Structure 1
Amino acid sequence: MGVSNIIESVKGFLAQGLGGSYKYSVLPEHRISSREPRSQSLQKSQEEKFRRTLKLAMTGLIAFAIFFVLVVSSTGNALNNKTSCDTIYQGYQCATEISRHWGQYSPYFSVPSEISNEIPEGCTVTFAQVVSRHGARDPTDSKSGAYAAMIAKIQGNATSYGSGFGFLEDFEYTLGKDELTKFGERELYNSGIKFYDRYRSLAASITPFFRASGQNRVIQSAKNFTRGFHATRVSDESAKADLFPYDIVIISEDEGMNNTLDHGLCTNFEEGAIDEIGDNSKGEWADTFVPDIQARVNENLPGANLTADETIYLMDMCPFTTVAKTDGTPTEFCSLFTAEDWANYGYYYTLDKWYGYGPGNPLGPTQGVGFVNELLARLTGDPVTDHTSTNQTLDADPVTFPLGSKLYADFSHDNDMTAMFSAMGLFTGTEDLDKTNRVGTNETSGYSSAATVPFSARLYVEKLQCGSDADEMVRVLLNDRVMPLDGCGSDELGRCKLSEFVESMKFAMTGGLWDSCFT
């Protein structure tokens, strides 16, 4: 509903509450002759005075109501501030040359697609699932402490500051810990708008089933998504009324809980040598690209003597201070490094995801098996068949895991989504990434951590009915890129028949090496 419509509604409400007209006639009218007794004339004068006073009061009340509505509207629209670097349909649009290389700390951006990501002509969407990462956040608790210590070290030991580094002398560390930033809230609000608009034919009459992993930033991301979705639905004159706020099923992240949106049950993955593969892989690359940057930084900060890890922390400050700003404009930290530095930095975090939770880790894809089996159940309407990370109690209850719905929205983390993509086989055609030489996305089938799991990343799985074809089709989009589904023989539009898509998920349906978690 627009502000003008709300104002008219307020006027109408106030008028109805005071007699149903804008005449403010709350006293009975009297027939008064031209020669009235003095008492009647006085009564008329008093009534007229009362009406004038009431009219002024009503005018003031309406003005206040209009002001209130505008303030509330402005507050609500603050999440969708048009001056922000974040946009509803294309995502982050500032400093694109470097922000596409901030790894999982990149704000969401729409990834170019070799195949048109529009709904194919002649097709109707009959089902849509979104899996979303939470929005931009402050650093984790441990990282925030490390960043603060790094800044304190610079300010306590640097004897001078080189060109461009001078702001560090008086920089005050104010980043929080773990929670969404205002920018991150807007990312999810915009994501809800975009999801509604894309699947409007369903969303106008169907409320999605919402589910979130139990960490606060994930829950708040889900709530902001629902706000954007609902606001768009309210503005859609063709949409049915709904009840808001929507219900959100929250799955606990407590230790030992079965949760397909948060890993933690596979012992051999969480502990020991396999757990170290990701760190070791990015460490090899750090040994290659960090020394030159480290030397240059320390030359500009004599006395600081930053370590290799602290040099990376200084680079981390660029994306984190950027998304800490309401509008998301890049900060001075970003200009301390070159475009080449950022490309190397992005590859550092790409290796971390690939070898930590992706195809480069022998048990990485296994962590996404439970979710894939839930997805198959939703696509086919059949009960979940899984013995890995699914919560069988929740999945057996139609309240907490309904089948037959046409819209689903789940909210999770970057690591878990990386495992889901791997379990689905989205990058099975990509060779393991080189750990000592940077490989571009042209050589990785489009894989990078920024292109797959930026803040507010989203995977769409949609089912299509096309023309007179009796077979429903499945298509998968990752951050707007139509993914080639090689395992099920996708056509030129990226579509596979539903039955063939399901058949291609054998890795998940057969347990995905889950037994290796405990041997």
Structure 2
Amino acid sequence: MLGISVVLFLLIYGALLVLSLFGYLTRPSPSRVVTDPDDAPSLGVPKHIQKMWGQYAPWHPAGHYTPPPEGCNITQVNILQRHGARFPNDDDGAAYHASIKRLTAARKFADPRLEFLQDYKYDLGTETLLPYGAMQSFEAGAQAFRRYAHLVGPAHIPFVRASGKRRVIDSARNWTVGFAAASRQRYNPSVDLILSEERNNTLNNDCPNAGDGSEQMDEWLGVFAPAVAERLNKAAPGADLGAEDVFNLLAMCPFETLARQRASPFCALFNEDDFRAFEYHGDLEKYYKTGYGEPHGLGRVQGVGYVNELLARLTGTPVRDHTQHNGSLPFPLHGTLYADFTHENEMVAVFAAMGLFNVSVPPDTHEMDPAREWVASRMVPFSARMVVERVVCAAGGESVRVFVNDKLQPLEFCGEGDGVCALESFVESQAYARSEQSREDFERCYN
């Protein structure tokens, strides 16, 4: 078990069993306890295909975490993490089910890969966390303790917040359980604050006047999906599948695989090119929804509130924000480890507000660049996390490092592009978050 002692294994496994009885974990899988997220089960689908599932991909490291140089110490860590793998949301689940009904209405199946549909029943739940997703957050909490144990003590327990959706709250709780188990129950953080999604919330994107990326996604769907629909309709005469059905059936591969923790038979209906196109569909959604490409310029403003809270923590000064921050809620400063749980659209907005992944050429809606850098599966897979470290070196001065899914970000907007920025330079680089422009953009969300 990757060097972990048998005693710790039993503690973790016992904690999972006990906590599952109280609902902290959503039906945890009894098959194994994974102590390293990169050692997660294969799910019966090749890893390179899983990475083509866009924002529905399971967490995987986008790089290899590196500790700070010798003579430097991490003094504060801020973790922003997406909830773990979930069932489809209500609308998407209904659409997936409808496409499956259309496919099963075929006069016959001319391809043996479709024969499973003869007695197939759609049985996916909606919205809630999966057992696999629960384990993802548990593992992330354990990893956080192992990596940053030196920041924790009786007077320095992680401060944990969660946006108010059930799957986000459950993910935060599972993270705290994993953290406690890895510490052998010496440190037992709890979810200190739940932020309602009915009002301003720095852990939830909210801008009614912003676009949702549907126009750009539809354009790309019109490029790749007709040929796939034609192929499926030949294999299932009479199904009369359209472009939207192609996307829905592709989405069944990740959702059913993650739900059952074995390969969904829908995966076999598609080839690698189909999944590459599916992945690019997610790239376009994130770029044009809460990323840099939102057509009204209202994508990144949805991440400003969190950025301003981050700056307050890094500098130990009060929050200066005119967007989502709610000053009436507890917001401790001078902590050493903070963990906030959110959704992927909010994470993308935070990336854009900070200046991360700022590609020079917007993603084209008619042609996919295989060498592109804006890739949703690397940025916001299920259980994605951004980690911001404050570092002090013997030579003097404080600096900042940012990791997204363990990949060190270059931070070319405030340093030499080597992934390290002086704290003062990092704060200065976040001028948009504190500007009058961000306040005006936020007002445009509602006016």
- State TM-score, norm by structure 1: 0.78
Q: Report the Cα offset of residue 203 of structure 1.
A: 2.9
- State TM-score, norm by structure 2: 0.90
> Which residue of the other structure, out of 156, 178, 186, is the alignment partner of 2:135?
186
* Secondary structure, aligned partner of 1:165: helix
Q: Which residue of 2 aligns with 1:451?
A: 378
When the two chains are superposed, the root-mean-square deviation of aligned CA atoms in Å is 2.6
Structure 1 position 289 matched with structure 2 position 230? no
Q: Residues 369-448 of structure 1: matches in 2 within 5 Å? A: 369-394=304-329, 400-440=330-370, 442-444=371-373, 447-448=374-375
Q: Residues 184-223 of structure 1: matches in 2 within 5 Å? A: 184-203=133-152, 205=154, 206-223=156-173
Q: Which residue of 2 aligns with 1:486?
A: 412
Structure 1 position 268 matched with structure 2 position 205? no
Q: Distance in 2 between matches of 1:500 and 1:70?
A: 41
Q: Residues 329-368 of structure 1: matches in 2 within 5 Å? A: 329-361=262-294, 362-368=297-303
Distance 1:196 1:81, change over 3 A: farther
Q: Report the Cα offset of residue 319 of structure 1.
A: 0.2
Q: Which residue of 1 aligns with 2:196?
A: 252
Maintained 8 Å contact 2:304/2:323 = yes
Q: Distance in 2 between matches of 1:149 and 1:75?
A: 37
Q: Distance in 1 between matches of 2:9 and 2:51?
A: 40
Structure 1 position 508 matched with structure 2 position 441? no
The higher radius of gyration belongs to 1
Q: Which residue of 1 aligns with 2:51?
A: 100
Q: Which residue of 2 aligns with 1:37?
A: none
Q: Report the Cα offset of residue 476 of structure 1.
A: 0.2
Aligned AA (1:98): I
**Unaligned residue ranges in structure 1 (runs of 5+):** 8-68, 236-240, 270-274, 395-399
Q: Distance in 1 between matches of 2:33 and 2:116?
A: 24
Corresponding residue pairs, total: 429
Maintained 8 Å contact 1:369/1:511 = no
Q: Which residue of 2 aligns with 1:476?
A: 402
Q: Report the Cα offset of residue 92 of structure 1.
A: 6.4
Q: Which residue of 2 aligns with 1:460?
A: 387
Maintained 8 Å contact 1:95/1:330 = no
Maintained 8 Å contact 1:97/1:339 = no
Q: Distance in 2 between matches of 1:426 and 1:282?
A: 22
Distance 1:375 1:4, change over 3 A: closer
Q: Residues 138-157 of structure 1: matches in 2 within 5 Å? A: 138-157=87-106
Maintained 8 Å contact 1:474/1:498 = yes
Q: Distance in 1 between matches of 2:417 and 2:218?
A: 40
Q: Distance in 1 between matches of 2:9 and 2:420?
A: 44
Q: Report the Cα offset of residue 247 of structure 1.
A: 3.9
Deviations 1:99-133 (A, max 9, x none): 111111101110135xx633333221100010000
Q: Which residue of 1 aligns with 2:17?
A: 75
Q: Distance in 2 between matches of 1:336 and 1:376?
A: 47
Q: Which residue of 2 aligns with 1:131?
A: 80
Q: Distance in 1 between matches of 2:432 and 2:178?
A: 36
Q: Distance in 1 between matches of 2:354 and 2:231?
A: 42
Deviations 1:178-236 (A, max 9, x none): 0000000000000101111111211355311000000000000000000000000116x
Aligned AA (1:226): T
> Which residue of the other structure, out of 223, 227, 245, is the alignment partner of 1:310?
245
* Secondary structure, aligned partner of 1:127: strand
* Secondary structure, aligned partner of 1:464: strand
Q: Distance in 1 between matches of 2:96 and 2:375?
A: 25
Aligned AA (1:457): A
Aligned AA (1:159): K
Aligned AA (2:112): S
Q: Which residue of 2 aligns with 1:59?
A: none
* Secondary structure, aligned partner of 2:302: helix
Distance 1:308 1:4, change over 3 A: closer
Q: Distance in 1 between matches of 2:232 and 2:36?
A: 34
Q: Distance in 2 between matches of 1:423 and 1:70?
A: 38
Aligned AA (2:82): R
Aligned AA (2:201): N
Segments of 4+ moved more than 6 angstroms: 1-7
* Secondary structure, aligned partner of 1:408: strand
Distance 1:331 1:120, change over 3 A: farther
Q: Distance in 2 between matches of 1:142 and 1:434?
A: 27
Maintained 8 Å contact 2:87/2:125 = yes
Structure 1 position 176 matched with structure 2 position 125? yes
Give the % identical residues: 37
Deviations 1:318-359 (A, max 9, x none): 00001102xx33222112111111111100110010011101
